[in-house]
A and B are shown apart, each in its own frame.
Chain A
Amino acid sequence: MVVKLFGQIKAGNPQRVLLCFLEKGIEFEVIHVDLNTFEQKKPEYLLRQPFGQVPAIEDGDLKLFESRAISRYYATKYADQGTDLLGKTLEQRAIVEQWMEVEANYFNVVVLPLVINIVFTPKFDVALVEELKVKLDKVLDVYENQLAMNRYLAGAEFSLADLTHMPGMRYIMNEAGLGSMITSRENVNRWWNEMSARPAWKKLMEMAAY
């Protein structure tokens, strides 16, 4: 029984889950949900995800949504398979969870509107974008410090806390044209270069065919 992921391979939130599957060596099938025609807001899809967002998954009888919840589930269920994404002890897991919260509450909360404006909005709010860039600068300063002392955000090993950043980081480095915010920071740059060299990431980029 192969897990079905409902979403688009090029969309950021589904990419979190796809990356988790690839890191863990979990077989999957992508069921395309056409965001251009707002398929995710239609009644049939709302049964899978009541807020009308991608991704959702179906694995036999189990149906889940929220990319971070889905990733945690597979990282836990397949703890002994593929890359260890959550750490071996309760304490290490707590630190991974802490940096996953940071990704959601500090990084994504700024990067998402930045990407929506710069990449997807023809006449975007210039003042808002400048404000968001200042906020992102501050967040990346904290990351620079953390990554000066640790190879990855939660410590010596790559974890879900790093993985959840990758779709947003890709936008920063590419379509959003903000790569200099990364390359100007020695440790953040090193972190991104190491992560994006991972085979799972390369496979995802192949699938996405940008």
Chain B
Amino acid sequence: MAGIKVFGNATSPSTRRVLLALHEKNLDFELVNIDLKDGEHKKEPFLSRNPFGKVPAFEDGDLKLFESRAITQYIAHRYESQGTNLLPADSKNPAHYAIMTIGMEVEAHQFDPVASKLVWEQVIKNFVGLTTDQAIVAEEEAKLAKVLDVYEARLKEFKYLAGETFTLTDLHHIPVVQYLLGTPTKKLFTERPRVNEWVAEVTKRPASQKILKYHH
């Protein structure tokens, strides 16, 4: 059996999304380190795995994929009966599944663009010796606050974003949330009681703790 391989960097949020899914499922895998500082992701042989030159790329036997959210969905379906169920409890019900995918789209289009900018300004720039632009931070925090208001209302009705159980929708948020918890932006979570509880719940999961082993 050729096994599962992840080609990525253990500090990258996108790579971590995939690692989270694998850990939640207790799956054996090999993490092949791609040296981002060295531009390894923009050269062959990595480009043959992802022509857009971004980590992660993924392999399960003959199947080769890129895009973290496509990879996690594949893992959730292919290994549905193993480890944590990352799909809705009634996954064959298309309507329940659709509710989960709405949350996945919201994470990708409403949450991530803003939250990632905040990670860039406050975490990555610090790490590479550049100065945080506080004006951008203020602007993006205002946008994130509006998104989190929608989340607060949602989480008043349900324990997790897609319903009563932990799913891919929650998982996709975790890597960026973890980085933001190390910045002043953390206050946007702590100010909202249900969001705050949800953040605590999802970040204390054993898989979420495992991916923090590697850090800047």
Contacts and interface: CB of A to CB of B under 8 A. Distances in A.
Contacts, number: 75
A70 B98 contact: yes
Nearest to A68: B105
B84 interface: no
Provide the main secondary structure of the chain A interface. Answer: helix
A91 B63 contact: yes
A150 B206 CA distance: 41
A129 interface: no
Provide the main secondary structure of the chain B interface. Answer: helix
| Centre residue among A51, A90, A98, A100 by max chain B CB count within 10 A | A98
A145 B47 CA distance: 12
Contacts of B135: none
Nearest to A97: B70
B97 interface: yes
B12 interface: no
Given A66-B105, A95-B65, A73 B97 contact: yes
B200 interface: no
Interface in A20-58: 50-51
Given A66-B102, A76-B94, A101 B150 contact: no
Contacts of A97: 67, 69-70, 73-74
Interface residues of B, number: 29
Interface stretch (B30-38, B106-114, B121-129, B183-191): B106-114
A142 B108 CA distance: 22
Nearest to B63: A91
Interface residues of A, number: 30
Contacts of B153: 50
Nearest to B51: A142
Contacts of A105: 67, 108
A77 B94 contact: yes
A104 B73 contact: no
Interface string B59-89: 0000101110111011001100000000000
Given A69-B104, A91-B63, A101 B95 contact: no
B11 interface: no
Given A64-B99, A77-B94, 5 more contacts: A68-B101, A97-B69, A98-B71, A102-B52, A142-B52
Interface of A: 50-51, 62, 64-66, 68-70, 72-73, 76-77, 90-91, 93-95, 97-98, 100-102, 104-106, 139, 142, 145-146
